Amino acid sequence: MRFRLTDDQKALRAGMRELLGRCFGREALRAAVDAPGRLDRALWRTLGEAGFFALRLPEADGGVGLGLPEAVLVFEEAGRALLPGPLVATHLAAASVPGAARGETVVAAVDGELVEWLDAAGAVRGDASGAVPLRSVDPLTPLHRVPAAGPPDPVAVLLTAAEQLGTAGRVCELAVQHARRREQFGRPIGSFQAVQHLCADLLVRAETARVAVYAAAVTADPADIAAARLLADEAAVQGARDCLQVHGGMGFTWEADVHLHLKRAWVRARRAGGSTQGAELLAAALAD
């Protein structure tokens, strides 16, 4: 047993972070917020060229030939960067929908009772008939409501957990950065224990979610995946809230990015396989 990232995995993660920093930095993020509902197709194709969607397709089929652990690492980076779009749905459609692997076709999917990015999609997985638009709380994720859908796909559940993990790690960093910089009473607020302890809890939740998500990617076991999702949802949602608290009044502004992380975490938490379903799945296994 050696439960650490390999050098190749570290390189993959660093490469993805670098790519997203270049193609979807803070300015691009805020520009996207100012133009809601528009998916940047050039960025989508760039992701396709980088192998984001074809990551798990065999090399013989033009894919990258990697596995779930690697997919989890790149989705974590996507989550960190708040990358918009139906990333999970398109990744999962790479083998079956023409153009999805290369990022030419945007694929939406019915997930739980919602569909993300329905109007931008060139293909839809699942039955989206009767979809009704709603005014999405997340400025970067247009949503439609649909009648309840079938059982969740474990890989979709896991990749969602990975995105949530990205948010959890990012909001911890943002809180710590702010706590170091912002001064009150003549000292950085990070020297106040009440603030230190909020930050410590942010880290503990993120790290607990991290090992759960990585291990589930290695075992691909449905119960491990359910557990990972449960902890990652909690780490993202509660983490974003605590990050907002550390930011004080500034955290409550549209200007600060904290609300974008929180809103996206809420959207992802509603996808199928979230905490209620996950807890029921684990409980049923326990009582067996």
Instruction: By CB under 8 A, name the binding residues for other proteins.
Output: 1-6, 9, 69, 172, 176, 179-180, 187-188, 190-193, 195-197, 199-201, 203-204, 207-209, 211-212, 214-215, 217-219, 223-224, 226-228, 230-231, 275-276, 278-287
In this complex, which beta carbon is closest to other proteins, that of residue 250 or of residue 285?
Answer: 285
Question: CA 153, CA 82: separation in Å to the nearest integer?
Answer: 22
- CB crowding 246-266: b at 16 or more within 10 Å, else e: bbeeebeeeebbbbbbbbbbb
What is the rounded distance in angstroms from the CA atom of residue 265 to the CA atom of residue 82? 10
C-alpha 75/C-alpha 217 separation (Å) is: 12
Instruction: Tell me the closest approach of the beta carbon of residue 34 to other proteins, in angstroms.
Output: 33
> Taking the complex as a whole, how short is the minimal distance between the CB of residue 133 and other proteins, in angstroms?
31
Toward other proteins, which CB reaches closer, 177 or 253? 177
Closer residue to other proteins in complex, CB, 134/285: 285
Cβ pair 208, 235 in contact under 8 A: yes
Name the residue nearer to other proteins (CB basis): 97 or 195: 195
C-beta of 154: minimal distance to other proteins in Å?
A: 15
Q: How far is the CB of 112 from other proteins (least distance, A)?
A: 17
Report, in Å, the least distance between residue 257 CB and other proteins: 19
Assign 3-class secondary structure to 167-198: HHHHHHHHHHHHHHHCEECCEEHHHCHHHHHH
- With respect to other proteins, which residue has the nearer C-beta, 131 or 246? 246
CA dihedral for 110, 161, 174, 201, sign (positive or negative):
positive
Q: Which residue has the tokens 């996808």?
A: 271
Q: Least distance (Å) from other proteins to the CB of residue 275?
A: 8
Nearer to other proteins, 78 or 230 (CB): 230
Query: Whole-number minimum distance, CB 178 to other proteins, in Å?
Result: 11
- Comparing CB distances to other proteins, the nearer of 82 and 212 is 212
Cβ-based nearer residue to other proteins, 71 or 107: 71
Nearest to 175 by CA among 241, 124, 116: 241
Provide, rounded to whole angstroms, the least separation between the CB of residue 115 and other proteins: 26
What are the C-alpha distances in Å from 225 to residues 98, 168, 211?
A: 28, 17, 11
Classify 158 as helix, strand or coil.
helix
How far is residue 78's CA from residue 55's CA, in Å, rounded to a whole number?
Answer: 14
Cβ–Cβ under 8 Å, residues 172 and 243: yes
Q: Which amino acid is at 51?
A: G
